[in-house]
């Protein structure tokens, strides 16, 4: 048996019918040439169900003592795993668009996992257009975090288009092969510089308390108003429609953008890829709330999870820290907004600088401690620590295949909690960045439009940095300007155009009337002449 850490247990304690605590998402595939869809998927399903000795968390269930969640919790091997329950086969209704796929995933993501069984499910989904199929998976966050889910993904698939599966991807044997593959890559690719880095990290084991003390000092100074650009949970977090009570119904939407395009926007501002992602999301949120007349006067804040997983660790369920980012939604200028976001991220990273994973986890628990009191009392929506969550999970940077089926995209679905009704998670895969947006259906109406506003925000940043000219920029659905802010020149032009149309219409009618009368007179004269002659 394996004991759950304090962080793992926290996800179980925080779970309710309104706030399921599982993560997962959609993997989108294109069938191999000439493959029959149903035959191909039936074979994959049977292969996945063939495993006997399952790796964690697929073969483990939760064990509690007499005190329940208040006492120690363990993962224990489940001797009667029903793989037909956990691995399911579904079909979309026609016409099988992404709309139908997202509707199905929205419903599946809103249901709780059964705690009497291993805490995971996988759905094979057929019926998509253009010879595509999908999988939707969900794992309890007590068992799997974003980095662990990427390890599971890479152990299931291959970079070789011609490679074929060797038994169930959920088996212990599959995990062993993946571990050997990682060790081989690591041993062959370790340079002298990496060896020096290892030596340096060992040296830091003896002066770790210094890092923890200095971080706590920066944290306290932040609450005293002396933290500079450092943003902290619960500090100056404005209320918005995102920060309300949530129910169990979910809305899931997804979109891909070019990795190079987002990175170029960050580089143009001497920032990172992550800075550009945050600026893109911040601009999108600003437009969304403006359209609903709900933009707070204060800047909104976002929790940005940071992986604390040590290199080669594929077993830990959770190894994450968190930075509080200032999204600068109170600033209209995209350049100034980017600079403020960038400064808050630099200050946030400095808070965890030099720490080992265990120290950073302890620091995170201290920062998040007020939530342990506010959540059971139902006060998180009144005193939210952040406005939203924006999480970046690094994924495979080359195309991957599953028995010859190309993996087209990885769209993550994450957690919505009481007081935080919106979660934006992204995975960098191959040449793209795949965004998955999860929201409370009731709290965030028309959340699909956030995708359109994020595209507009990215174009705005590209124009401001000179990466594209206004004429070259293409927005999926341009946002109409309000009439109130229109210039006199534009109004005059519009009115002149209307008057010209009316004049042209009247002139046409007059000409037509004259022509008709003239023809009628000629016909009458001819008829009169004929009568006289007769």
- Who's near 435: CB < 8 A, 6+ residues apart? 254, 255, 256, 257, 411, 424, 425, 426, 451, 454
Structure tokens that stand for 65 in this block: 């003592």
CA neighbor of 297 nearest in space, from 337, 342, 237: 237
**Percent of the chain beyond pLDDT 70?**
72
Which residues make up the CATH 3.30.559.30 domain(s) of the chain? 212-480
How far is it, in rounded angstroms, from Cα 61 to Cα 317?
Answer: 14
pLDDT tens string 97-132: 999 999 999 999 999 999 999 999 999 999 999 999
Which of 28-32, 192-196, 309-313, 492-496 has maximum average pLDDT? 28-32
Calculate the CA 293 to chain-centre distance. Answer: 24
Question: 2-188, superfamily in CATH?
Answer: Chloramphenicol acetyltransferase-like domain (3.30.559.10)
- Whole-angstrom Cα distance, residue 379 to residue 374? 5
Fold of 212-480: Chloramphenicol Acetyltransferase (3.30.559)
Please give the pLDDT value at position 480. Answer: 38
Residues of the chain with CATH 3.30.559.10: 2-188
Task: Give the span between the Cα atoms of 53 and 172, in whole angstroms.
Answer: 6
CA nearest 307: which of 243, 244, 381, 364?
Answer: 364
Tell me, what's the pLDDT at 368? 67
User: What is the spatial distance between Cα 503 and Cα 398, in angstroms, rounded to a whole number?
Assistant: 62
Strand partners, 428: 394, 433
Average per-residue pLDDT in the chain?
A: 80
What pLDDT score was predicted for residue 372?
62
Is the pTM for the entire model greater than 0.85? no
22 is catalytic: no
Which among 283, 247, 242, 275 has a CA at the least distance from the CA of 420?
242
Place of tokens 């003896």: 206
What's residue 139's pLDDT?
94
Backbone angles phi, psi at 457, to 5 degrees: -65, -40
- Rounded to whole angstroms, the Cα distance separating 25 from 327 reads 25
Q: Among the options 22, 141, 211, 456, which is catalytic?
A: 141
pLDDT at 488 over 90: no
- pLDDT value at position 278? 97
From residue 365, alpha-carbon distances to 212, 222, 394 in Å are 13, 17, 24
Nearest to 218 by CA among 35, 413, 24, 350: 350
Q: Which residue has the tokens 């259906």?
A: 441
C-alpha torsion 227→230→234→235, nearest 10: 50
Distance CA 236, CA 252 (A): 29
Q: What is the DSSP string of 295-335?
A: --SSPPEEEEEEE-PPTT--S-S--EEEEEEE--TT---HH
pLDDT in tens, 126-160: 999 999 999 999 999 988 876 777 888 888 899 99
Structure confidence at residue 258 (pLDDT): 97
Q: Which of 40-54, 165-179, 189-203, 365-379 has the highest mean pLDDT?
A: 40-54
Residue 504 has pLDDT above 70, yes or no: no
Handedness of CA 261, 265, 270, 272 (dihedral sign): negative
């Amino acid at each position: 048996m394996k004991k759950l850490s304090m962080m793992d247990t926290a996800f179980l304690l925080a779970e309710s019918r309104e706030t399921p605590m599982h993560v997962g998402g959609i993997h989108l595939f294109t069938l191999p040439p000439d493959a029959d869809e149903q035959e191909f998927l039936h074979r994959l399903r049977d292969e996945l169900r063939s495993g006997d000795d399952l790796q964690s968390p697929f073969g483990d269930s939760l064990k509690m003592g007499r005190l329940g969640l208040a006492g120690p919790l363990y993962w224990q091997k489940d001797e009667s795993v029903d793989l037909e329950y956990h691995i399911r086969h579904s079909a979309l209704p026609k016409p099988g668009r992404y709309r139908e796929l997202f509707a199905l995933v929205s419903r599946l993501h809103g249901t709780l996992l059964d705690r009497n069984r291993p805490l995971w499910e996988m759905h094979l989904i057929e019926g998509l257009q253009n010879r595509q199929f999908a999988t939707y998976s969900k794992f309890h966050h007590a068992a799997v975090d974003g980095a662990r889910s990427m390890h599971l993904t890479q152990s299931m698939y291959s970079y070789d288009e011609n490679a074929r599966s060797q038994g169930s991807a959920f088996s212990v044997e599959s995990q062993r092969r993946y571990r050997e593959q990682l060790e081989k890559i690591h041993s062959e690719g370790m340079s002298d510089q990496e060896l020096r880095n290892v030596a340096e990290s060992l040296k830091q084991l003896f002066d770790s308390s210094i890092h923890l003390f200095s971080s706590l000092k920066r944290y306290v100074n932040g609450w005293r108003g002396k933290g500079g650009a450092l943003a902290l949970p619960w500090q100056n977090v404005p209320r918005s429609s995102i920060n309300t009570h949530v129910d169990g119904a979910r809305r899931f939407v997804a979109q891909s953008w070019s990795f190079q395009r987002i990175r170029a926007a960050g580089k143009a501002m001497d920032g990172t890829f992550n800075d550009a992602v945050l600026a893109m999301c911040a601009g999108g949120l600003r437009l969304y709330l403006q359209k609903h007349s709900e933009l707070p006067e204060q800047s909104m804040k976002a929790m940005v999870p940071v992986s604390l997983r040590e290199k080669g660790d594929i077993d830990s369920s959770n190894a994450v820290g968190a930075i509080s980012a200032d999204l600068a939604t109170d600033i209209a200028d995209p350049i100034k907004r980017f600079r403020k976001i960038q400064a808050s991220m630099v200050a946030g990273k400095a808070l965890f600088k030099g720490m080992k994973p265990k120290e950073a986890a302890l620091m995170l628990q201290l920062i998040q401690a007020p939530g342990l009191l506010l959540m059971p009392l139902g006060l998180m929506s009144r005193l939210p620590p952040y406005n939203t969550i924006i999480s970046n999970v690094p994924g495979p940077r080359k195309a991957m295949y599953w028995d010859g089926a190309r993996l087209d995209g990885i769209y993550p679905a994450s957690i919505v909690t009481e007081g935080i009704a919106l979660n934006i998670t992204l995975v960098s895969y191959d040449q793209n960045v795949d965004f998955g947006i999860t929201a409370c259906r009731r709290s965030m109406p028309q959340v699909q439009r956030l995708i359109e506003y994020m595209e507009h925000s990215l174009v705005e940043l590209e124009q401001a940095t000179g990466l594209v000219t206004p004429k070259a920029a293409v927005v999926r659905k341009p946002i109409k300007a309000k009439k109130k802010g229109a210039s006199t020149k534009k109004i005059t032009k519009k009115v002149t155009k209307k008057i010209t149309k009316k004049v042209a219409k009247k002139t046409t009618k007059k000409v037509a009337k004259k022509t008709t009368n003239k023809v009628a007179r000629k016909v009458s004269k001819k008829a009169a002449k004929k009568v006289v002659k007769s």
